[in-house]
Structure 1
Amino acid sequence: MIPFGAIGAIFGHFIMGADLVFFSVLGIIALSGVVVNASLVLVVSVNRLREEGMGMVDAVSTAGALRFRPIFLTSLTTFIGLVPLMITANPATFFVVPMAISLAWGVLFATVITLFLVPCLYLILHDFIGHTDSEEERAKAYKHTPKVVVEN
């Protein structure tokens, strides 16, 4: 997810009309920690649901639904918090502006990609490795499956 954050940072510099400088790279380095954290939160949530016996697809979709709001709002508040630094005209803070642009736009872009790409890659990797649920895992997953009762 770090490359997507870097792409977002470069895109942000283009949007803001700023040059890529050394301080932009420092912002991208700071960005990498935030982006990895968002992915990690999502994967840990999927693994926890799998340990509770939920099937793979259900665990991925449930974790995505449960963690969407916290991950998205954290990134959105980070972006909004960095807006004053991005638009400052104070010459004393000229070195902070490229870092703020890299961090803000990179977080925003990488979060959107993370929320959609990580669950897909998790399922693809699971299929590629060839893991299949054992009978015991299927029995646990069956407990989590909603029961439908049809009455005449």
Structure 2
Amino acid sequence: MFVSTANGNSVPLNAIADPQLKSTPPEITRYGLRRTVTVVGYNEPGVLASDLNAEVQEKLKSIALPKGYRFSQGGEAEAASRSFSGLGPVVLLAIFGIFGVLVLEFGRFKETAVVAGVIPLGVLGGLIALFLTGNSLSFLALIGFVALVGIEIKNSILLVDFTTQLRKQGMGLREAIEKAGEVRFLPILLTSLTAIGGLMPLALSGSSLYSPLAWVIIGGLVSSTFLSRLVIPAMYLLVIRGEEAEAVEV
């Protein structure tokens, strides 16, 4: 191998250098201007990626790296970290938006509080469904809780709004609550069953990504549909009865 000189002649490379063969990476990958080597692994069917990632992180802590080297998470763990970091403001905005719409619809905070009382019932069912199916509280599971709140609120509105309409027509408080529960329970039940039936294929698919979302909504709908039949009328009775008692005293 010859190298051209400034005057146009050529000299052998070994006359001006000491060439040696050394192994080098065929490709240099950079991430954030840093040289990066990516190690890819896949979890076995039935193993949660979050649990596997936690175990891998514990193993990596025992490895002593030279100065200037470090481990960093990628893939699903990195995506989940980025998603969770921006999820809080979105959830708060959704909650305030829902309460704002309810206040505009009913015009008072008391009915709004009764409607929102169904939210803990669904959250409880969603958490139980995740526990029973062995799924973790992933990013999409939290998205499922947000979607579940919207469905629950809609069912609760059907019950509370119809009760209020009956009272405006002159019906007594207890009678209106009982009548609304009888008339509106079947539409609420059918709506929930339809949603559950549509989500079952997704829940039974075994996808570590989308199954938690489906199970959260299914579990929340099951618990809120049946528990709201008892809790919402009781809350409405307590809130409005107190209001009527104050009106009588005045």
Amino acid at match of 1:109: S
Aligned to 1:61: 178
- Taking structure 2 as the reference length, the TM-score comes to 0.50
Cα deviation for residue 129 of structure 1 reads 2.6
Q: Distance in 2 between matches of 1:99 and 1:2?
A: 17
Decide which structure has greater helix share: 1
Cα deviation for residue 96 of structure 1 reads 1.4
User: After the TM superposition, which of the residue ranges 59-68 and 16-25 deviates more from structure 2?
Assistant: 16-25
Structure 2 runs not aligned, ≥5 long: 1-117
Structure 2 residue 141 is matched with structure 1 residue 24: yes
Cα deviation for residue 16 of structure 1 reads 1.2
Decide which structure has greater strand share: 2
Q: Distance in 2 between matches of 1:117 and 1:30?
A: 21
Cα deviation for residue 133 of structure 1 reads 8.4
Aligned to 2:36: none
Structure 2 residue 155 is matched with structure 1 residue 38: yes
Cα deviation for residue 130 of structure 1 reads 3.8
Structure 2 residue 214 is matched with structure 1 residue 97: no
Amino acid at match of 2:191: T
Amino acid at match of 2:197: I
Identity of aligned residues (%): 33
Aligned to 2:114: none
Cα deviation for residue 84 of structure 1 reads 0.8
Structure 2 residue 231 is matched with structure 1 residue 117: yes
Is the CA contact (8 Å cut-off) linking 1:38 and 1:114 kept in structure 2? no
Q: 1:63-82 alignment to 2 at 5 Å?
A: 63-82=180-199
- Taking structure 1 as the reference length, the TM-score comes to 0.80
Deviations 1:103-137 (A, max 9, x none): 11111111111111111111111222344788xxx
- Give the total of aligned pairs: 131
User: After the TM superposition, which of the residue ranges 25-34 and 97-106 deviates more from structure 2?
Assistant: 97-106
Is the CA contact (8 Å cut-off) linking 1:85 and 1:96 kept in structure 2? yes
Q: Distance in 2 between matches of 1:62 and 1:4?
A: 22
RMSD (Å), alpha carbons = 1.7
Cα deviation for residue 98 of structure 1 reads 1.1
Aligned to 1:140: none
Q: Distance in 1 between matches of 2:235 and 2:145?
A: 23
Aligned to 1:48: 165
Structure 1 runs not aligned, ≥5 long: 135-152
Residues 50 and 133 (structure 1), Cα distance of their counterparts in 2 relative to 1, 3 Å cut:
farther
RCO higher in 1 or 2 (8 Å CA, sep ≥ 6)?
A: 1
Which 4+ runs in 1 deviate beyond 6 A?
none
Q: Distance in 1 between matches of 2:138 and 2:124?
A: 15
Amino acid at match of 1:36: I
Aligned to 1:4: 121
Structure 2 residue 239 is matched with structure 1 residue 129: no
